[in-house]
Structure 1
């Protein structure tokens, strides 16, 4: 395995350890064991736990930006499976985001600002078929929408439990996706776009997609 592969493997192990134990609870030794490499190898690529966390944060934000860009570009690719793939990507990141927002709240402000910008770009781009009207307070809409979406991220385990599931699998992602669409469609999603999202959610669930 080349150096980039080793670095990615360590980062992935750190992502899992931070998700499971929080930034304070995870140890560099535990990350090395999870990655199947020596402690020295971890320290060679990431001299501190802070650098490991920054690498994980950077990766998570990159994935979220890819999802955001896919949402914005969806009108250019009719019939695409965006909702399913987006559900997969975001579902896998949700526990890490919940940890970052709650367990280690020293970075909460940074995450809130980053995610508000991500959601805000989608809401102002027309990627969902509707943009925030000029007579609305766009900053307030963006901030409140981000807070609402992050609330689902934090409580997704409880939502799954309430709905009778143990995890965010394909069926649960479909049910939650439909519920989110119902709540958002009146103001934030055009009817045409909502129909496409419903079709893609149903296709994703029927194909047995999982949140890997």
Structure 2
């Protein structure tokens, strides 16, 4: 199973503080989490937290940096496992999903708070690289550019941890557990491996969207009024 490379820092008090912060920021949010409780969970003094990080904001930035590094390493391992065009005997993407489960709550909080911009942008770049790989041997044509599609795909994927409570309720199992993540992954595979819209229907939808885009404000208002009049 893929794992991140051991880091000597992970054996230090600094790493314990970071891990405790990931837990508390994810559970309580940045504003409600306290240095005192983070220190208690890490088994250190509040003074040592400030010695290593200086402030709660700096600690948050260290957590974001660690998340970015972790995601990057897992992605690199997945790409290495896929270099021959197949996923081989070990599915590195599945292993990466399992490795990220402990960080889902933190990631959801950061995204909901409007933070983690650098991490989001990094994940978009990774998704764009994957799309480029998958499209090398395909003959499909696209209306939207690859960057746009990568951005939307990343946002769709990251919406799952943000909407964790609702998705878990719908699936009947906590998506932040191995069992829940497996159920979620199986659903995603079914969705990604089966086209939901035929090329003909997509072309019709594109034409309709272009028509709406080109409408004047008066035409849009008239269309909205007509729609409301049709409602029961």
1:101 equivalent among 108, 111, 130: 111
How big is each residue's C-alpha offset from its partner over 1:146-192, in whole Å with a ceiling of 9 and x where there is no partner? 111111121233222222224532322221111111122247xxxxx
Note if 1:60 corresponds to 2:67.
yes
Whole-Å Cα distance in 2 between the matches of residues 138 and 33 of structure 1?
A: 46
Query: Which segments of 5 or more consecutive residues in structure 2 lack a partner in the other structure?
Result: 1-8, 196-232
Map residues 59-208 of structure 1 onto 2, 5 A cutoff.
Answer: 59-76=66-83, 78-102=88-112, 104-105=113-114, 107=115, 109-126=117-134, 135-136=142-143, 137-186=145-194
- The aligned counterpart of 2:23 is 16
How big is each residue's C-alpha offset from its partner over 1:41-74, in whole Å with a ceiling of 9 and x where there is no partner? 1111111111111110011111111222122122
Higher helix share: 1
Higher-Rg structure is: 2
Whole-Å Cα distance in 2 between the matches of residues 132 and 55 of structure 1?
A: 43
Query: Which segments of 5 or more consecutive residues in structure 1 lack a partner in the other structure?
Result: 188-212
RMSD over aligned CA atoms reads: 2.7
Q: How many residues align?
A: 184
Q: 1:34 to 1:61 in 2, by over 3 A?
A: same
With a CA cutoff of 8 Å and minimum separation of 6, indicate the structure with the bigger relative contact order: 1
Q: 1:170 to 1:108 in 2, by over 3 A?
A: closer
Q: Please report how far the alpha carbon of residue 88 of structure 1 lies from its aligned counterpart in structure 2 after TM superposition.
A: 1.2
